[in-house]
Chains A and B, each alone.
Chain A
Amino acid sequence: MKHLDTIQKEFKQFFAEGVGKSFGGLKAVDNFSMEIDTGEIVGLIGPNGAGKTTVFNLITGMETPDSGKFYFQRDYITGKPPHVISELGIARTFQNIRLLDYLTVIDNIKIAYHKHISYNLAHASLRLPKFFSVEKEITEKSFGFLELFGIEDSAYELASSLPYGKRRKLEMARALATEASLLLLDEPAAGLNPRETAELTELIRKIRDEFHISIFLIEHDMSLVMNLCERVIVLNFGEIIAHGTPLEVQNNPDVIEAYLGTGKKKNVS
């Protein structure tokens, strides 16, 4: 188990310290502490119901912690509203994809740029030149992200018409387009076959390398976690029960117990 007291706080990108959250008597997250350094890929794993998505909700401001603190790039972000946290540079995807189905694919990406819009209602309604120049820039950037994920052909179709694999990609593209420095991915490989998962693993690594961002991901697919993550945190009943490299965690008896209860290994490549 890594000790946190030796870490020099000022240099790490993201901190969680003793975060706790209860829902009506049920402790969903307890004494959650971790840090992420710029450019790391960290995994969060644990059995269903362990509190992983709750952790994401707490970080992004959708829930407020009962105790503990979050720091991001030296800012104290605990308790700030979600849109502020998004502006500060943390983006997330959702376990059950939350795309805007009745908007086009490219509009879904353009929404990510909304905080960079420098025109106002007057420019928009009267279609002044400033509107056109800003929109052109946004469209170009949006296409850039669509091309990165290989979905630019469907740019003007409704998001609802995309097949599942591309929907997952669009969800990620959208989060990336917010120009975040920390990306939270909630089960990005859910529903993908092994080939697609391998593709995704490469894609995530490429994104990290090109954009110099940190990635914190929740996953059940162990092949992805073992291949991709530099560090893994294991959650069970809201508490961290293990924390280390994928190999260390894989061999940790507490982890095995949590997943299986009997000591047998599960589904590891």
Chain B
Amino acid sequence: MSWYELHSALGNIGIFAILALSLNVICGMTGLLQLGQAGFFAIGAYAAGLTSIYLTFPELGVLNFAISAAAAIIAAGIFSIILGIPCLRLKGDYLAITTLGFGEITRLVLVNLQFPGGKMYPGEKIGGATGIKFTEFPGDLWPAYPNYSAEFASLWFTWMLVIITCILLINIKKSSFGRAMMCIREDEIAAQAMGINISKYKMMAFLLSACIAGFAGALFFHKELAIAPGKFNLICSIEILLMIVLGGLGSFSGALTGAVVLGITPYILRHVEICGYRLGEYQQLMYAVLLIILIRLAPNGIFGMNEIPRWWKSSVISRRSPADGK
């Protein structure tokens, strides 16, 4: 594997780690089954992309990332409120299907929507099935400037953000906010009796989860510089879900671990051969089988609901997870 490939792969794993963390907020901690996370990922990526294309200020250099990241977070946030309000009174399966619908609608709309080209593509329209791409500005509109975006979404920056996000989220989990959300996950009726405003906290979970996913989208755009709607599909949402199920629903360190394991696997498979069959071709098939076996044999994932320190200490404490019997 070339150095470039490895670099890119690790970057992607980092971005998906952030996505896994974001999904854990709403699925793992609050217990709401959200199957449309790829939609927020896409919204963030497109918001960042379009902002970069329309509003780049060469004087600002790397701070342009801040602008597009802000746009991504705000856009994702707004859509999460739009999605969240109807979802507040939906339960279980209905919530899953609605969020799935949201993810699919987002993808379908992005496939069909065309955006003005702005200064980068004067007179043209961008978008649609081929997506949007960040190239050089034409002519001498401004001096050829370095690909700050790609440099900026560098490996160390991405992974630093992964660690920071993980720590911040664990802090939230071990605070009153986390307790309230977990209470909603465990027993909504008890939560109401305790004075917890269910709607407020569900909305908070939606918002937080979507904004982080949107931010991951911004990172993704600035890394790839070219995005297309095809990637942001149901399979993407399911992959993220699989990561947190693998790591243990409710555990942020688990989400990280799951993302790393599931992220590395395709690259390993690509280079492994058994009896003349290159395993890489069978990746999706293996994932499907893996999912079925995992649910059957280890439904709590690796860490259950605990973060690493507690899991390390506990040997007596039972590790049943919210996936049981509901």
Contact = CB atoms under 8 A, between A and B. Distances in A.
Contacts of B192: 61-62, 81-83, 86
A158 B318 contact: yes
Contacts of A26: none
A260 interface: no
B195 A124 contact: no
A112 B196 CA distance: 9
Contact of B194 (A126, A158, A174): A174
B180 interface: yes
Q: Chain A: interface residue count, which band?
A: 35 or more
A60 interface: yes
Contact of A111 (B168, B183, B189, B197): B183
A103 B186 contact: yes
A268 B182 CA distance: 43
Interface in B157-173: 168-169, 171-172
B177 interface: yes
Q: Chain B: interface residue count, which band?
A: 20 to 34
Contacts of A124: 171-172, 175-178
A86 B193 contact: yes
B187 interface: yes
Main secondary structure of the interface of B (DSSP, over half): helix
Contact of A114 (B168, B172, B187, B195): B195
A119 to B, nearest CB: 8
Interface string A218-260: 0000000000000000000000000000000000000000000
Given A102-B186, A107-B179, A87 B195 contact: yes
Main secondary structure of the interface of A (DSSP, over half): helix
Interface string A147-162: 0000000000110110
Given A100-B183, A161-B318, A83 B197 contact: yes
A158 B306 CA distance: 12
B217 interface: no
B168 A98 contact: no
B285 to A, nearest CB: 34
Given A115-B195, A124-B171, A161-B317, A100 B187 contact: yes
A135 B177 CA distance: 12
Nearest to A177: B194
Contacts of B305: 102
Contacts of A91: 193
Nearest to A89: B195
Interface of A: 60-62, 81-83, 86-87, 91-92, 94, 98-103, 107, 110-115, 117, 119, 121, 124-127, 131, 135, 138, 157-158, 160-161, 174-175, 178
10 contacts: A83-B194, A83-B195, A86-B194, A98-B187, A111-B191, A111-B196, A125-B169, A125-B175, A126-B168, A138-B176
